[in-house]
């Protein structure tokens, strides 16, 4: 049996817990700052501390797969356990994997993160559409079957992204807008049974302006909050009328307060309180 659609579950989590998303990004520098070794033991302590501190209170936890993959199979084992623990505690898990390929390879990525029988099954996954939006079809179909979500890179927070994302399609739209329009079609119109679509877009909170139509009827993951410079006050300027559907993503700005569970919770609570003043 599939889960309720991801968009339904995300809307409920955002309305009850607030929209805060916290990354689980075990950078070597963060492990060192926590007094941990840059090894699997340090990875375990870091990861499970973040899950213990936040999984029962934030809407979304977003592990960055690369920081676990660098430790090989033992790192992936830590990631598998963290995903399970976070979901058991009530957080939605967004796997930040940014996968993108074609055909059977994309289908294999979809099976990894979006098949309920996979040990890495997550509530949603980030994907890259720049092999063509149609290349994402295996992931979109798998997500629909399982009740999971997909977040498509549209306008990312890194300055290099504009080279591709702001370039112009033959019909005059930016490539970012082309992707956003595809997402809107996938989500369809909102209704009482679909308060939020299950296909989201990644739009950086550090952008000077969006300059695109963000009416995708789906969630908007906004990286770049906190340590990268964006604040809650920036969100209405960038996202306008779509601000209620924004999932602001913090990483180092919250994680640097570890290894204290209490300090991590206090930091997340402060960010959530700031967001509550803006995102209503």
Count other C-beta atoms under 10 Å from residue 58's C-beta. Answer: 28
Whether pLDDT at 149 is above 70: yes
> Does residue 110 sit within a domain?
yes
Mean pLDDT of 100-124: 97
Q: Which pLDDT tens digit goes with each residue over 206-215?
A: 998 899 999 9
Give the burial class of 163: count Cβ atoms within 10 A of its Cβ; 0-12 exposed, 13-18 middle, 19 or more buried: exposed
Q: Is residue 50 part of a domain?
A: yes
Is 161 part of a structural domain of the chain? yes
Q: Which residues pair with 248 in a beta bridge?
A: 222
Residue 162 lies in a domain: yes
What is d(CA 153, CA 50) in angstroms, rounded to the nearest whole number?
Answer: 25
| Angle, helix 40-54 to helix 72-88, in steps of 10 degrees | 10
Q: 210 φ, ψ to 5°?
A: -80, -50
Q: Using an 8 Å Cβ cutoff, are 222 and 235 in contact? A: yes
- Number of domains within the chain: 1
Would you report the helix, strand and coil content of the chain in percent, each value rounded to 5?
50, 20, 30
Using the predicted structure, report yes or no on whether residue 225 has a pLDDT greater than 70.
Answer: yes
pLDDT at 249 over 90: yes
Residues facing 225 on adjacent strands:
230, 250
Confidence band of 95 (pLDDT split at 50, 70, 90): very high
Q: What percent of the chain has pLDDT over 90?
A: 90
Is residue 49 situated within a structural domain?
yes
203 token code pair: 């739009």
Confidence band of 280 (pLDDT split at 50, 70, 90): low
Residue 135, pLDDT above cutoff 80? yes
The whole-number average pLDDT for the span 39-51 is 98
pLDDT, residue 27, reads 96
Distances in whole angstroms, Cα of residue 198 to Cα of each of 6, 9, 76, 94, 136? 5, 9, 26, 12, 14
Mean pLDDT of the chain: 95
Instruction: Kindly state the average pLDDT of the residues 11-15.
Output: 96
Assigned domain for 1 exists: no
User: HSE (CB half, 13 Å, CA atoms) of 137?
Assistant: 6
Rounded CA separation 44/222 (Å): 27
Active site residues: 98
Q: First-to-last CA distance in the chain? A: 33
The CATH number of residue 255's host domain is: 3.20.20.70
pLDDT at 52: 98
Q: How far apart are CA 95 and CA 33, in angstroms?
A: 24
Q: Whole domain around residue 61: which residue ranges?
A: 6-278
Whether pLDDT at 248 is above 70: yes
What is residue 157's predicted lDDT score, i.e. its pLDDT?
Answer: 85
Task: Look at residue 175 and tell me whether its pLDDT is greater than 70.
Answer: yes
Q: For 53-81, what is each residue's pLDDT tens digit?
A: 999 999 999 999 999 999 999 999 999 99
* Residue 184 counted as domain residue: yes
């Amino acid at each position: 049996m599939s889960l309720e659609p991801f968009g339904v579950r995300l809307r409920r989590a955002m309305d009850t817990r607030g929209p805060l998303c916290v990354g689980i990004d075990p950078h070597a520098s963060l492990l060192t700052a926590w007094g941990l070794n840059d090894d699997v033991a340090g990875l375990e302590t870091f990861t499970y501390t973040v899950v213990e501190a936040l999984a029962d209170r934030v809407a979304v936890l977003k592990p960055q797969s690369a920081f676990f993959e660098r430790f090989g199979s033992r790192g992936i084992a830590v990631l598998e356990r963290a995903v399970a623990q976070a979901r058991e505690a009530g957080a939605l898990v967004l796997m930040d994997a940014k996968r993108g390929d074609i055909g059977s390879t994309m289908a294999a990525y979809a099976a990894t993160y979006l098949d309920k029988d996979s040990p890495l099954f997550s509530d949603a996954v980030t994907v890259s559409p720049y092999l063509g939006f149609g290349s994402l079809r295996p992931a979109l179909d798998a997500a629909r079957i399982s009740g999971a979500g997909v977040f498509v890179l549209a306008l990312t927070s890194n300055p290099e992204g504009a080279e591709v994302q702001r370039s112009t399609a033959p019909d005059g739209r930016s490539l970012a807008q082309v992707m956003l329009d595809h997402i809107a079609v996938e989500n369809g119109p909102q209704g009482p049974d679909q308060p939020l679509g299950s296909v989201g877009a990644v739009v950086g909170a550090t952008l000077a302006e969006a300059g695109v139509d963000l009416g995708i009827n789906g969630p908007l993951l906004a990286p770049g909050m906190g340590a990268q410079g964006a604040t809650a006050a920036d969100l209405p300027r960038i996202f306008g009328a779509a601000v209620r559907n924004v999932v602001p993503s913090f990483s180092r700005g919250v994680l640097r307060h570890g290894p204290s569970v209490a300090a991590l919770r206090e930091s997340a609570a402060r960010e959530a309180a700031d967001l509550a003043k803006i995102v209503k």
